[in-house]
């Protein structure tokens, strides 16, 4: 009797081990998927990454690493567009992550590359976790993670590899990797009253990395409120269904307060905020007709992929399955995501009509990334959830294994069609500077020593689009001289420089070479041999394809005459008046206009500049005035600049295009300018962790109050 019992004992253990393996299999697959992404994006470590704005973000990371390493926390960034306060308004978090590491360990490029790399390869783990928190089972969560990894749209504003390596949406990439977590924890808090602190923390992280992504999280939860209320199990207490409507506003309030570092400074110092005066090509969005074409062709999920467009083909089956689960009172988070996707699609369709005043602060096409993520998550999760339900239902049938095999076969076909081709497409999308031989990246290294040693002033890139040297005006040649030689660029057309410098409006249509050199202190011109002779000036250094020339410039500081006040009743009219001034002969004759409130006209200048120094967030000039004279500093005006003359506080005048000027009396003087952030501006960043703490305390208080009343508030 005992022998057979002993012989049969191992069978349950073997069965238990097999079951444990099955339970762990989704996580094992998730690990394999993450490993595949590591291969797909490994090429980012080969050099300076492709994507126009990526070069600028790399420059900002290098600037932060240098400033933090030298104890400068005021962070005035002279990299481009006349200078601007780095991270003053938002997007400081994505730059600070590698910037802090670069300040501590050096090798800034590696930390920037690593941050881009992690923003790609952590997507499946974050998506899996986000869906699990929302209530998805392991296999559907894995399906959503798989789908999100292989989005490949035909729009440069998209998520994943397209946006990051086409146009350089570095901050969006970091925000979107946390988007599923913010969505998942926000859903759990709203629906079940659990996890307020992580809901606030992840929501703030997304919003402070990319404001539009943060808005998308809020919109997703708002449109899912009705679904969240229906997910509550029926109880004897009728008010149970109202609890999500209480918890969601509480979350929104904490997110609003916690993100004050990203919006309050804009309101207070809006005059110095560059805004979005010009939409980039395609940023207005496709409109409703164009979006319908996107939908029919799969443009924003599977564009130009071969074999066929898998995610687009699965959209209708996924919608049907989600509706089925909703009616069965299962996986209602899927219905909420469909509602969010519908809202995002509507916003994109309305994009051309949503211009907000003079500064386009909400380019609607930027919700394309959240739309793609939401759709991919719900398509992958719905289809796999349907497959799991089918497998379980077939277990009751005698020949159910045939149907189960058919389901497994179909899933295998989808994976085989989707993953290898899409992985190859993503891998091929990653490019670095040296992958483009025609830009002659190595020649830039030959030019850098001379660029570093040349006459102080900004550098401007001027090329000829029809010649054989296209490297002159690409983003690497424009911004890398600042990273490696400390030479500020005249104009950068994207990233935070676009949003932060008040001079961008006037630089968007860049003046002619010599006019720009004189107005903006940009004496150096990086050009090619075909264009160089037409520019004139002196050749500083030359290589096989490129040359650096120098043209006359008055320097960073010079004496000017104030001719009067800018005409215009509002921001737009004053900007247009400055453009008119910029095209006139006044700037070439050292004649400027003042902004309202910056004083009146003054006498002709009579003075010299003896010495000019630039420090971190500091400028100084030793001048000799033979009569009352106004000295112009060709650096962007900002209300947080403070001036002294011989150590005593002095008034800063705001002059055209948007620079600073100081009046001095006859004699030799030392003019000092320092950019200082008030203590309260850095203190605003403390509101983010305090908001998460407040969420945790509020949840605990609410649970105690409800427990005391004998009611759990719908948390079960």
Model pLDDT for residues 216-233, shown as the tens digit of each residue: 999 999 999 988 887 665
C-alpha span between 299 and 109 (Å, rounded): 33
- Give tens-digit pLDDT for 49-65: 998 899 999 999 999 99
Q: What percent of the chain has pLDDT over 90?
A: 62
Mean pLDDT of 242-266: 91
What residue segments make up the domains of the chain, in order of their start?
123-272+283-435+683-716, 439-550, 557-578+585-677
Contacts of 146 (CB under 8 A, 6+ apart): 33, 124, 380, 415, 418, 419
Mean pLDDT of 473-481: 92
Mean pLDDT of 198-212: 95
359 or 168: which leads in pLDDT: 168
Q: How does DSSP assign 269-289, residue by residue? A: TGGG-----SPPTTTT--HHH
The answer to whether the beta carbons of residues 128 and 122 sit under 8 Å apart is: no
Q: Lowest-confidence range among 11-25, 198-212, 343-357? A: 11-25
Q: State the alpha helices, DSSP H only, in 361-466.
A: 368-394, 400-429, 441-453
Burial of 137 (0-12, 13-18, 19+ CB in 10 A): middle
Q: Lowest-confidence range among 4-13, 213-222, 462-471? A: 4-13
- Give tens-digit pLDDT for 520-539: 999 999 999 988 999 999 99
C-alpha span between 73 and 715 (Å, rounded): 44
The answer on pLDDT for 654 being more than 60 is yes
Cis peptide bond N-terminal to 398, omega within 30: no
C-alpha span between 672 and 437 (Å, rounded): 46
Secondary structure (3-state) at 41: coil
Burial of 20 (0-12, 13-18, 19+ CB in 10 A): exposed
The answer on pLDDT for 1 being more than 60 is no
Q: Lowest-confidence range among 24-38, 227-241, 372-386, 602-616? A: 227-241
Cis peptide bond N-terminal to 657, omega within 30: yes
CA geometry: angle 304, 406, 374, nearest 5 deg = 40
Secondary structure (3-state) at 665: coil
| Overall residue count recorded for the chain in this entry | 716
Q: Lowest-confidence range among 106-110, 172-176, 512-516, 704-708? A: 704-708
Where on the phi/psi map is residue 684: left (φ > 0), alpha (ψ -120 to 50), or beta? alpha
Q: Which secondary structure element, helix H or strand E, spans residue 483, and what is its range?
A: helix 475-485
Burial of 380 (0-12, 13-18, 19+ CB in 10 A): buried
Q: State the alpha helices, DSSP H only, in 606-667.
A: none
Q: How does DSSP assign 139-207, residue by residue? A: HHHHHHHHHHHT---S-TTSSHHHIIIII--HHHHHHHHHHHHHHHHHHHHHHHS--HHHHHHHHHHHH
Q: What is the pLDDT of residue 15?
A: 53
Residue keyed to tokens 């909420």: 336
C-alpha span between 685 and 496 (Å, rounded): 19
The answer to whether the beta carbons of residues 477 and 489 sit under 8 Å apart is: no
C-alpha span between 323 and 320 (Å, rounded): 5
The answer on pLDDT for 10 being more than 50 is no
Contacts of 211 (CB under 8 A, 6+ apart): 90, 262
C-alpha span between 128 and 119 (Å, rounded): 15
- Give tens-digit pLDDT for 102-149: 999 999 999 999 999 999 999 999 999 999 999 999 999 999 999 999
Q: What is the pLDDT of residue 429?
A: 85
- Give tens-digit pLDDT for 314-347: 899 999 999 998 888 888 899 999 999 999 999 8
The answer on pLDDT for 710 being more than 70 is no
The answer on pLDDT for 306 being more than 70 is no
The answer on pLDDT for 297 being more than 90 is no
Q: What is the pLDDT of residue 34?
A: 95
The answer on pLDDT for 4 being more than 70 is no
């Amino acid at each position: 009797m005992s022998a057979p019992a002993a012989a049969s004992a191992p069978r349950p253990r073997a069965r238990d081990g097999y079951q444990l393996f099955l339970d762990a299999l989704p996580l094992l697959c998730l690990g394999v998927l993450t490993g595949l992404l590591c291969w797909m994006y490994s090429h980012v470590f080969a050099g300076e990454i492709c994507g126009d704005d990526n070069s600028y973000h790399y420059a900002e990371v290098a600037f932060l690493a240098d400033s933090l390493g030298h104890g400068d926390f005021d962070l005035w960034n002279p990299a481009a567009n006349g200078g601007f306060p780095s991270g003053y308004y938002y997007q400081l978090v994505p730059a600070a992550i590698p910037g802090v590491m670069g300040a501590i360990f050096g090798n800034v490029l590696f930390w920037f590359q690593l941050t881009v790399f992690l923003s790609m390869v952590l997507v499946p783990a974050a998506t899996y976790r986000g869906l699990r928190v929302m209530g998805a089972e392991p296999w559907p969560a894995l399906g959503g993670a798989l789908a999100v990894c292989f989005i490949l749209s035909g729009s440069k504003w998209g998520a994943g590899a397209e946006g990051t390596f086409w146009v350089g949406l570095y901050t969006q990439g970091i925000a979107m990797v946390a988007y599923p977590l913010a969505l998942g924890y926000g859903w759990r808090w709203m629906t079940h009253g659990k996890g307020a602190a992580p809901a606030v923390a992840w929501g703030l992280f997304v919003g402070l990395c990319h404001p539009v992504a943060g808005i998308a999280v809020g919109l997703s939860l708002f449109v899912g409120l009705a679904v969240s209320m229906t997910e509550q199990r029926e109880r004897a207490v009728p008010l149970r269904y109202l609890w999500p409507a209480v918890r969601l506003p509480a979350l929104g309030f904490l997110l609003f307060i916690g993100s004050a570092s990203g919006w309050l400074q804009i309101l207070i110092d809006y005059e110095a905020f560059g805004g979005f005066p010009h939409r980039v090509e395609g940023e207005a969005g496709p409109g409703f007709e164009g979006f319908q074409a996107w939908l029919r062709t799969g443009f924003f999920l599977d564009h130009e992929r071969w074999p066929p467009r898998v995610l687009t083909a699965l959209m209708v089956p996924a919608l049907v399955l989600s509706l089925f689960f909703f009616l069965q009172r299962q996986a209602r988070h899927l219905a909420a995501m469909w509602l969010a996707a519908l809202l995002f699609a509507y916003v994109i369709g309305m994009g051309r009509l949503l211009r907000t005043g003079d500064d386009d602060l909400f380019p609607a096409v930027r919700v394309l990334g959240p739309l793609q993520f939401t759709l991919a998550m719900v398509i992958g999760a719905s289809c796999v959830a349907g497959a799991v339900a089918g497998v379980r239902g077939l277990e009751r049938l005698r020949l159910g294994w045939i149907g189960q095999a058919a389901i497994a076969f179909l899933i295998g076909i989808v994976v085989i069609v989707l993953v290898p081709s899409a992985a190859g497409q993503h891998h091929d999308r990653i490019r670095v500077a040296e992958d483009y031989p025609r830009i002659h990246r190595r020649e830039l290294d030959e030019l850098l020593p001379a660029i570093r040693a040349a006459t102080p002033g900004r550098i401007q890139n001027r090329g000829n689009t029809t010649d054989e040297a296209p490297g002159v005006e690409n983003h690497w040649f424009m911004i890398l001289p600042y990273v490696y030689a400390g030479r500020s660029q005249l104009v950068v057309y994207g990233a935070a420089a676009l949003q932060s410098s008040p001079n961008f409006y006037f630089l968007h249509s860049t003046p002619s070479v010599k006019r720009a050199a004189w107005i903006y202190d940009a004496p150096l011109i990086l050009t090619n041999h075909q264009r160089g002779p037409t520019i004139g000036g002196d050749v500083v250094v030359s290589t096989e394809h490129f040359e650096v020339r120098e043209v006359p410039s008055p320097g960073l500081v010079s004496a000017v005459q104030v001719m009067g006040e800018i005409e215009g009743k509002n921001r737009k009219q004053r900007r247009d008046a400055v453009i008119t001034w910029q095209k006139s002969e006044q700037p070439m004759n050292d004649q400027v206009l003042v902004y309202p409130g910056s004083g009146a006209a003054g006498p002709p200048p009579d003075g010299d500049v003896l010495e000019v120094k630039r420090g971190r967030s500091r400028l100084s000039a030793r001048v000799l005035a033979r009569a009352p004279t106004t000295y112009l500093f060709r650096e962007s005006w900002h209300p947080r600049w403070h001036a002294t003359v011989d150590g005593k506080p002095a008034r800063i005048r705001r002059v055209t295009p948007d620079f600073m000027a100081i009046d001095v009396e006859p004699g030799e003087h030392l003019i000092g300018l320092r950019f200082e952030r008030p203590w309260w501006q850095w203190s605003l960043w403390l509101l983010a962790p305090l908001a998460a703490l407040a969420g945790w305390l509020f949840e605990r208080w609410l649970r105690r109050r409800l427990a005391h009343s004998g009611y759990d508030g719908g948390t079960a």
